Amino acid sequence: MENICRIAEDKTYKKYSATDENIYPFRLMPKVDGRRRVVLLGATGSVGSSTLEVIRKHGDKLQLVGIAGGSRESELNAVADEFGVSESVLFSRDGEPGLEYLATLPEADIVLVATTGTAALRAVLAALEAGKDVALANKETLVAGGHLVKAAEQKSAGRVFPVDSEHNAIFQCLEGNRTHGSIKRLLLTASGGAFRDKTLEELKNVTVDDALLHPNWSMGPKITVDCATMANKGLEMIEACRLFDVEPSQIDVVVHPQSIVHSMVEFCDNSIIAQMSKPSMTFAIQHILMYPERKEGIHESLDFSKMMNLEFRPPDEKLFPCLRLARQSLEAGGIYPLSFNAANEVAVDAFMHRGLPFLSIPAIIEEVLENVHYSLPDTVDELIDTESRIQADALKRLTF
């Protein structure tokens, strides 16, 4: 069965129907009463796999109507066959047209974005323009283009919901508890990544394989390296400001090696509410896809009849300077969060594929940030162009 949209270099694409050989602009799926219809962008990644677990569990409430993947064509086809999905896209980094097509399917109720990078930004904006809800598991979209997303959301009947475990935890903690001036702090928990117990001397010789050994979570390679540098938590700080309309000074990070407490909110009366569950993305994904209902989960609950140690400590920003650089970018605002993200992508890619030393990742980012001379883009086209220019500048600074 042919069910893949192929994206050509000139960004044109053809849509093939799953039922015959004719080409259609779109094919409406029959609506099924009582089920929320889901488009999943990033179906073959780790978040995508967790999403499929949730949909399998709750097929009486959820229906998958569109999928996209950046690679693994055979896996994408297998998902389409299993769930009876006729709308499927295999995209490249420049594959936004196919993603936009899926994000605006008339039959879709919610679009879950689990891709990496800013390739899905146009799809997010298109979904909001079409009045769809967006379940966001992509940090870069809000970090680089948060001002565009928030503006689109204000005009939309749809809403952006957080699927990252930390932001989803904050979302849950705030439900029914938020009034003007009530929030004192958002406390983002961090596992600390593969190197949370290393010394600076030990970090000088770590390898890519070392960085990919995350102690708690199974994720894609780029985000796993971001966890090792704690750049990931820096991106989450920026994202939290966009999602919850708080000031940078109201966001703190705490290292929590067990990854049981997914994040916390401290209120003006100094009380703290935390969200806890086992370290699986299925909890956050199910919460949003089923929202506001709650149903039986996939994984078992925490067992408080057994001994459990929960440890919390402040992050060492001297050991993990990416966290400091992200906070500085957030405080500076404007073009700086986009620049932080763009430089980080280049540096991490160079570490993974070109032999850049691990400790040079933050050095490249800092050098780029010290030489930023662009303005915050007003459109998606300008944003993509500016991001490319910043990445080109970062590439020039790779001396190793």
pTM over 0.75: yes
Determine the average pLDDT of the residues in 175-184. Answer: 87
Contact 148, 78 (CB under 8 A): no
- The answer to whether residue 30 scores a pLDDT higher than 80 is no
For 264, phi then psi, to 5°, come to -140, 160
pLDDT-derived band of residue 3, with 50, 70 and 90 as boundaries?
very low
* Residue 293, burial from CB neighbour count under 10 angstroms (0-12, 13-18, 19+): exposed
Mean pLDDT, the chain, integer: 90
How does pLDDT run across 189-230, given as a tens digit for each residue? 999 999 999 999 999 999 999 999 988 887 889 999 999 999
Residue with tokens 């949730």: 54
Contact call for residues 313 and 358 (beta carbons, < 8 A): no
Establish whether 165 is an annotated binding residue: yes
Rounded Cα–Cα distance for residues 241 and 41 (Å)? 24
The answer to whether 180 is a known ligand-binding residue is no
Tens digits of residue pLDDT in 71-127: 789 999 999 999 999 999 998 765 678 999 999 999 999 999 999 888 899 999 999
Full strand arrangement of the beta sheet holding 251-255:
251-255, 183-190, 261-267, 272-276
pLDDT of residue 33: 61
Q: What is the pLDDT at residue 20?
A: 31
Q: Is 270 assigned to a binding site?
A: no
Is 261 known to sit in a ligand binding site?
A: no
State yes or no: 79 annotated in a binding site. Answer: no
Q: How confident is the model at residue 181 (pLDDT cuts 50, 70, 90)?
A: confident
What dotted CATH number matches 5-163?
3.40.50.720
334 is in an annotated binding site: no
pLDDT tens readout for residues 262-315 = 999 999 999 999 999 999 999 999 999 999 999 999 999 999 999 999 999 999
| CATH architecture of the domain with residue range 333-400 | Orthogonal Bundle (1.10)
CB count within 10 Å of CB 371 equals 12
> Do the annotations mark residue 236 as ligand-binding?
yes
Q: Does 70 carry a binding-site annotation? A: yes
Could you tell me which residue, 360 or 31, shows the higher pLDDT? 360
Q: Is 289 left (phi over 0), alpha (psi -120 to 50) or beta?
A: alpha
Rounded Cα distance between 131 and 186, Å, is 29
Asked whether residue 182 is marked as a ligand-binding residue, the answer is no
pLDDT at 186 over 70: yes
Per DSSP (E only), the strands in the chain are 5-7, 13-14, 36-41, 62-69, 88-90, 110-113, 133-136, 160-162, 183-190, 251-255, 261-267, 272-276
Return the domain boundaries, the chain. Answer: 5-163, 177-277+304-321, 333-400
131 labeled part of a ligand binding site? no
Residue 70: partners with Cβ closer than 8 Å, 6 or more residues away: 42, 44, 45, 90, 91, 92, 93, 95, 115, 119
The answer to whether 220 is annotated as binding is yes
Q: Which residues pair with 208 in a beta bridge?
A: none
214 annotated as belonging to a binding site for a ligand: yes
46 is in an annotated binding site: yes
CB 326, CB 235: distance < 8 Å? yes
pLDDT value for 216: 86
